[in-house]
Amino acid sequence: MDFKEMIHRAIAGQKIIHIAQAMGHDPKTVRKYLTKVDAHRSRLIESGGEIPADLIPTLHGRPAEKQDLLEPHLDEIKMLITNAANPLKPKTAFEVICIKHDLADTVSYSSFKRFVRTHSITILPDKATCRIECEPASQVQVDYMKAGLLFDPFAGRRRIVYAFIGSLSFSRYKYVEFTFSQNQQSFINSHVKMFHAFGGVPKSIGIDNLKAGVISPDLYEPRLNRAYREMAEHYGCFIDPCRVASPRDKGKVERDVQTIREQFRKLSALHPRIIIDEANTAIANWLRNDYGARKHGTTHQEPYKLFTEIEQPLLLPLPLEPYEAALWKEATVHPDHYIQVNKKAYSIPHPYVGKKVWVKVTHNLVQVYYNDQLIKQHPVAQGFRQTDFNDFPENVQHAINTGMPAYLCNEAASVGKDFETLVRKILAPHAFLNLRRAQGIVSLASKYPKDCMEQAATLALDLYCSVTPGLFKTLLENLQNHDCIEQSAQLSLSMETQSFVRDMTYFIQNNTEV
């Protein structure tokens, strides 16, 4: 357009200096282009100043040597960029062509881009992106990524570090936290910290379909992780899962992944022994004082300033109490009336045997739900089992007083009170399933003295939550060995031996006489 304007002014008779001043160009630049016009002045005047198509390369075109070098590879370049199965970006296609045909030192990327534009080679239409801008405080997009390795002083080794990223869609201000885990509780705790760092809650959360947030992805009816859903209800926001394998649905945070990874690598290079708390402090300062103070390429605003002045006042207020991240797990009620959660067993009422239930675990409480109804509640078990005898049917509750269990209890009572208590404790959770363990312990009474059995039972009740026949036998043997040592120390001396015993003064007197 500037070149066309130069020609109009030159045909109108304006001098080069005036054209340069009017158009803001250097006079030498204007003279260089108008020199080419003189040879075709008459034809340009006839066309009314319009440049014929055949004259464009002559008047304005650059030397075509570089374009001629790329011309033999036109079909290959088109295939690389527009391949439906595996298309390449123009920059990558340029690198491939240079390597395959040894053009790295001959053709520049600028020449390659001109060649692509000249031949109208475009990327596939499905690669086009529609930029969607959001209202202030309307959305935060979150994502997890693998950042690298950091030294963990508690484990004494380097461990994989993940980065939780939350980017506000309006201001582009973000929260980043480095963690050693990306499980359900870590994911929810990072959300809680993010909301409190923002000083409020956005109206919706855009996430991908990781298991910590979405159990079963679906475009219309996604099945959300129960703890994650409770967290959103606690803060009054909505969860908006992306489509499966569609990272561009949350493109704002996806673009931040490489930025945060590069910053993490920079921190690791500057501070090789940095620990995770120091890394979190450093990234928070960088987001506020460095990244947050630079103009964003899309909004042309400083993210932190835009956040504090416009978006933060519009965030939903924080609730009075932060959400306590609970662990939700699905469990099966086994035939022995127990479920197992976090390597501990909890009794469940008899009607639910064989059914699947949902278990909510907090720091001090275990709650069991069936069809969204609370059916059982236990304190967190200190030992392995937490038992409520009312959960068992009547025949099991009375099993300890009949048949073989009753016989074992009677045998234990003949040994001693503590031994009977120990056997009843073994049979109490489930008399039939623990019958063999009780039999094994009672059978030892025929091989060891009763006082030793009673003493071992006292120790077992004080020291152990669960006692097996092997453990009880080890206690008995240790007690017997201890008694043998004490008896050997208290053996009485015979009369003949005592005749050789001398008082210490005897040896002192003999030494004096010598």
What CA–CA distance (Å, rounded) separates 47 from 62?
23
DSSP code per residue over 496-507: HHHTT---HHHH
Domain ranges of the chain: 2-59, 65-127, 140-314, 327-392, 395-489
pTM above threshold 0.95: no
State the residue for tokens 């374009």: 67
**Would you place residue 16 in the very low, low, confident or very high pLDDT band (cuts 50, 70, 90)?**
confident
Q: Tens digit of pLDDT for each residue in 296-320? A: 888 889 999 999 999 999 999 999 9
- Among positive and negative, which fits the CA dihedral 481, 487, 489, 493? negative
The domain 140-314 is placed in CATH, from the list 3.30.420.40, 3.40.50.300, 3.30.420.10, 3.40.190.10, at 3.30.420.10
What CA–CA distance (Å, rounded) separates 188 from 179?
12
What CA–CA distance (Å, rounded) separates 460 from 151?
42
Amino acid at 172: R
Q: Tens digit of pLDDT for each residue in 74-129? A: 888 888 888 777 778 788 888 888 888 888 888 888 888 888 888 878 765 555 66
- Contact 347/387 with Cβ under 8 angstroms? yes
Q: Tens digit of pLDDT for each residue in 389-420? A: 788 777 666 655 566 777 888 888 888 888 98
CA 226 to chain centre: 17
Q: Tens digit of pLDDT for each residue in 240-269? A: 888 877 777 788 898 889 889 888 988 888
Higher pLDDT, 432 or 382: 382
**Would you place residue 43 in the very low, low, confident or very high pLDDT band (cuts 50, 70, 90)?**
low
The region, left, alpha or beta by phi > 0 then psi within -120 to 50, assigned to residue 331 is: beta
